[in-house]
Amino acid sequence: MPHTNWAGNYHYQAQHVHQPQSVTEVQELVRKSENLKAVGSRHSFNHIADTTADHVSLASLNKVVSLDPQQMTVTIEGGVNYGQLANYLHGQGFALHNMASLPHISVAGACATATHGSGEKSGNLATAVRALEIITASGNIVTFSRDETPDMFPGVVVNLGALGVVVKLTLAIEPAYQMRQVVYQNLPFAQMLEHFDKIQASAYSVSLFTDWQRESINQVWLKQRVADGQNNQPVSEFYGAVLAVQNLHPIEALSAINCTEQMGIVGAWHERLPHFKMNFTPSSGDELQSEYFVPRPQAQSALQAIQSIQDKIAPLLLISEIRTIAADDLWMSPCYQQDCVAIHFTWKPMTAEVMEVLPVIEQQLEPMMVRPHWGKLFTLSASYLQERYARLGDFRQLVTTHDPQHKFGNAFLEEYIYAG
């Protein structure tokens, strides 16, 4: 059976997939391997998780280890995904600060690439990490934490799979909360530009969906946190956009059956933050994805720059999503020390055509110091990328300390991180 990523657009070159049943087995495997790569839930679209040697999957190490209500943290094994974790936490009366669009993604893999949700005051998902246990090249377990190793910790969390196999993560939690999701249709593009800041501030998490085919944003998804017992009726108009009268899929032609509940109906945080329901489990997807981050003050210029090439984008596109993410201190995060707007593209599965349009998009965004999502498709050069990461030298040093022979190296890391 071919071993591919979730989208099926990338066939891994890995020779074999090991699925250890214990941390000790992972340690033994690391000790005896010359080269090895951790693979998560395979949701990345490029070769970041590939290797010509062997893969190690932590799919069997998928338990919640402990919950600490005093410290407000949860500790999980390295194979847990967000869906499992969210269900567990909610059952215990706790919550995460944010989630990605799909809940099926592994926590370790998501944090390794700075996966994010939306919300101008919410950092990416990796910002919730408080400690990590990593099996480094020696086979020993090294613990990094914000409290005990504060100097290195910001370099370790968004690790691009370079430091070793993450076998445990401790994440910050908060008391469970309620949310409601309201969708508006046809937000005029000019209104979106003029009121961008107010729109982003209007809810806990805001997503703007567009197919770049009209002079408007197709849909505005507002995810609002609500206090117990509060259930205000949404207003019928939002900066010229009209309240939707039924649940919608971001791609309007598709059924909303797999989308999380909208229409202002109040529900649990983990049933509103992702766009897609947890009990809908897509094993693969007929799509490609790219995503570009620019500093928040450049949001309007970036969106206008993309609009100016919409005729090149629209024929290849399923849907685009515009989100905001708060600044963080994680060295390899695209939001390192800068609030960002992220412009995401879900493409039709037309790899050759998509790879041709990406440089056109990147050229538009380069003046705005664009950074790509590490786990999605991009064509920006290694030298360009390396200039965008002020702490890259420190990250390389960290890797040299823990993996001097690049046991966890691969072509992606050689090209974008180690070369130069």
Ligand X SMILES: Cc1cc2nc3c(=O)[nH]c(=O)nc-3n(C[C@H](O)[C@H](O)[C@H](O)COP(=O)(O)OP(=O)(O)OC[C@H]3O[C@@H](n4cnc5c(N)ncnc54)[C@H](O)[C@@H]3O)c2cc1C
Cβ closer to ligand X: 238 or 412? Answer: 412
Q: Which of residues 289-328 bind ligand X (CB under 6 A)?
A: 289
Q: Are 47 and 412 in contact (CB under 8 A)?
A: yes
Q: Exactly one of 39, 86, 365, 417 binds ligand X (CB under 6 A); which one? A: 39
Binding part of the chain for ligand X, among 97-105, 149-157, 185-193, 330-338 by CB under 6 A, reads 97-105
Dihedral over Cα of 54, 5, 96, 200: its sign: positive
Tell whether residue 165 is a contact of ligand X (CB under 6 A): yes
The type of residue at 287 is E
**Residue of minimal Cβ distance to ligand X:** 109
The answer to whether 76 contacts ligand X (rule: CB under 6 A) is: no
User: Would you list the DSSP string of 277-318?
Assistant: -TT---S--S-EEEEEEEEGGGHHHHHHHHHTTHHHHGGGEE
Within 8 A by CB and 6+ apart from 250, the residues are 207, 209, 218, 219, 221, 259, 275, 319, 321
Please report whether residue 109 would count as binding ligand X according to CB under 6 A. Answer: yes
Q: Please report, for the chain, how many H helices and E strands are present, in that order.
A: 12, 20
Among 36, 95, 166, 399, binds ligand X (CB under 6 A): 166
Exactly one of 95, 102, 248, 358 binds ligand X (CB under 6 A); that residue is: 102
Element (H, E) at 229: none
Contact 265, 218 (CB under 8 A): no
The verdict on 391 binding ligand X (CB under 6 A) reads no
Question: Residue 55, interface with ligand X (CB under 6 A)?
Answer: no
Query: What's the closest the beta carbon of residue 11 comes to ligand X, in angstroms?
Result: 14
Of 161-169, 217-225, 240-248, 349-357, the segment contacting ligand X by CB under 6 A is 161-169
Q: Does 136 bind ligand X (CB under 6 A)?
A: no
**Contacts with 220 (C-beta within 8 Å, 6 or more apart), sequence order:** 183, 184, 185, 187, 199, 206, 207, 208, 209, 238, 241
Residue 42 lies near ligand X (rule: CB under 6 A):
yes
**Residue 179 CB, nearest approach to ligand X (Å):** 16
- Site of interaction with ligand X (CB under 6 A): 6-7, 37-44, 48-49, 58, 78, 100-102, 105-106, 108-110, 112-113, 115-116, 160-161, 165-166, 285, 289, 373, 375
